[in-house]
Amino acid sequence: MDRMPTRADKPARRVALFGVLLALTVALAWAERLIPMDAVLPGAKLGLANLVVLCGLYLFPMPWALALTGLKILLTGLLFGSYYSLAFSAAGGALSFLAMVLCKRLGRTVAFTSVLGGVFHNLGQLLCAWALLGSMGILAYFPALLLAGMGAGAAVGAVGALILRRLWPDADKTS
Amino acid sequence: MDRRLFTARELLCLAVLALVLVAWAVWPKSSGAAVVVQRGGGEIGRYPLDVPARVEVSGANGFSLTVVVQDGAVHVENSTCPDLICQRHAPISRSDQAIICLPGQVSISVEGGERRGPDAYAG
């Protein structure tokens, strides 16, 4: 059996993979809406689409991964969210992406990178809420939301690590 | 190839972070809620909801109320007014509750307390 092409090095192949992954983020974001999480902890999400963002980080050069994250936030925000939720996603996504890039540069494992991504995603959202509402009351939410971020990040990271290992065994793990 | 998800150091780091967050989440804290007593629409007293207290409040028309704060809730123990509706009112502890004594023109409410959430989410 032919091994799957790993790092999308040829431009056409890379563009195709990018498109497929971007479409997958929208599909996963839609699928996630079928799971009601608001009753458990308002604002908490599993972040299934972040699975794709995580893989993108290891499959593409950094600017491409950044584009994938940005477009995912814009698309899912416009399709499923409101202006407010778009702002929250953007703040969370930006901080999360930054943390994950740093984490990856430092040679941490995929799962650990994902957990930090989850934590910083929710940290970014809290900061955004603080900026928009100007209320310190949301601080009461801080530990619960960060724990939720750890859990979601660990779940996504475990699956992501498996996917990367199986589908793209020589995906970029270091740079 | 390394098949572990995390390295030992990463696990330790995550465990410490999780412990700190859990400790923070369950740490007992002052609710910050306050009992606000008003007469004729003007505030005449404000007391923390989590500190037991017994306060005599003199209302309008010569009526007086004994307001008691205990167990994180406030109620009127005694009133010299004729209706005694305030006295029969159950203790209140949430921001959307109030005890009103019409003859004495006194209202007792909670600020900064917990609000009653929605019964269910849909959609």
- What would the pLDDT profile of A68-88 be if each residue is shown by its tens digit? 999 999 999 999 888 888 988
Cβ separation of A38 and B1 shorter than 8 Å? no
Does the pLDDT at position B37 exceed 90? yes
Q: Is A39 exposed, middle or buried (CB count within 10 Å of its CB: 0-12, 13-18, 19+)?
A: exposed
- CATH number 2.60.320.10 is the correct assignment for the domain at B34-111: yes
Instruction: Report yes or no: B24 at the A interface, CB cutoff 8 Å.
Output: yes
Token reading at B117: 């959430």
Considering chain A, what percentage of its residues have pLDDT values greater than 90? 53
Instruction: Please tell me which residue of chain A has the smallest CA distance to B121.
Output: A39
How many CB atoms are closer than 10 A to CB A7? 16
More confident residue, B28 or B6: B6
- CATH number 1.10.3720.10 is the correct assignment for the domain at A11-167: no
Cβ separation of A169 and B1 shorter than 8 Å? yes
Does the pLDDT at position A47 exceed 90? no
Name residue, tokens 């999360």: A96
Distance CA B96, CA A156 (A): 40
Distance CA B6, CA B26 (A): 27
Considering chain A, what percentage of its residues have pLDDT values greater than 70? 87
Instruction: Report yes or no: B8 at the A interface, CB cutoff 8 Å.
Output: no
In chain B, residues with a C-beta closer than 8 Å to the C-beta of A147 are 18, 21-22, 25
Distance CA A136, CA B1 (A): 47
Nearest chain B CA: its distance from A12 CA (Å): 30
Q: Name the band, by pLDDT with cuts 50, 70 and 90, for residue A39.
A: low
Does residue B89 sit in helix, strand or coil? coil
Residue A160: enclosing H or E segment and its boundaries? Answer: helix A142-167
Query: Helix B8-26 vs helix A142-167: angle between axes, to the nearest 10 degrees?
Result: 160
Rounded to an integer, the average pLDDT of A149-164 is 93
Token reading at A60: 């593409």
Distance CA A153, CA A131 (A): 24
DSSP secondary structure code for residue B112 in this structure: S
- The answer to whether the beta carbons of residues B34 and B114 sit under 8 Å apart is no
Q: Name the band, by pLDDT with cuts 50, 70 and 90, for residue A174.
A: very low
Distance CA B17, CA B24 (A): 11
* Residue positions counted in chain B: 123
- pLDDT at position A53 is 94
- pLDDT at position A110 is 93
Distance CA A86, CA B88 (A): 49
- pLDDT at position A2 is 47
Domain ranges of chain B: 34-111
- pLDDT at position B105 is 93
- pLDDT at position B19 is 92
Distance CA B119, CA A10 (A): 54
Instruction: Report yes or no: B114 at the A interface, CB cutoff 8 Å.
Output: no
Cβ separation of A38 and B121 shorter than 8 Å? yes
Please provide the average confidence, as pLDDT, over all residues in chain A: 86
- The answer to whether the beta carbons of residues A73 and A90 sit under 8 Å apart is yes
Cβ separation of A111 and B6 shorter than 8 Å? yes
DSSP secondary structure code for residue A144 in this structure: H
- The answer to whether the beta carbons of residues A110 and A161 sit under 8 Å apart is yes
Identity at A132, one-letter amino acid code? L
pLDDT in tens, A97-138: 999 999 999 989 999 999 999 999 999 988 988 888 776 667
Q: Name the band, by pLDDT with cuts 50, 70 and 90, for residue B80.
A: very high
- By C-alpha distance, which of B78, B76, B62 is closest to B109? B76
pLDDT in tens, B40-71: 889 998 998 888 999 999 998 899 999 999 99
Query: Helix A62-80 vs helix A11-33: angle between axes, to the nearest 10 degrees?
Result: 30
Q: What is the ipTM of this complex?
A: 0.74
Does the pLDDT at position B84 exceed 70? yes
- pLDDT at position A155 is 92
In chain B, residues with a C-beta closer than 8 Å to the C-beta of A169 are 1
- pLDDT at position A1 is 43
Distance CA B32, CA B43 (A): 18
Distance CA A124, CA A10 (A): 35
Nearest CB to A36 within list B24, B25, B121: B121
- pLDDT at position B12 is 93
How many CB atoms are closer than 10 A to CB A56? 24
Q: Name the band, by pLDDT with cuts 50, 70 and 90, for residue B95.
A: confident
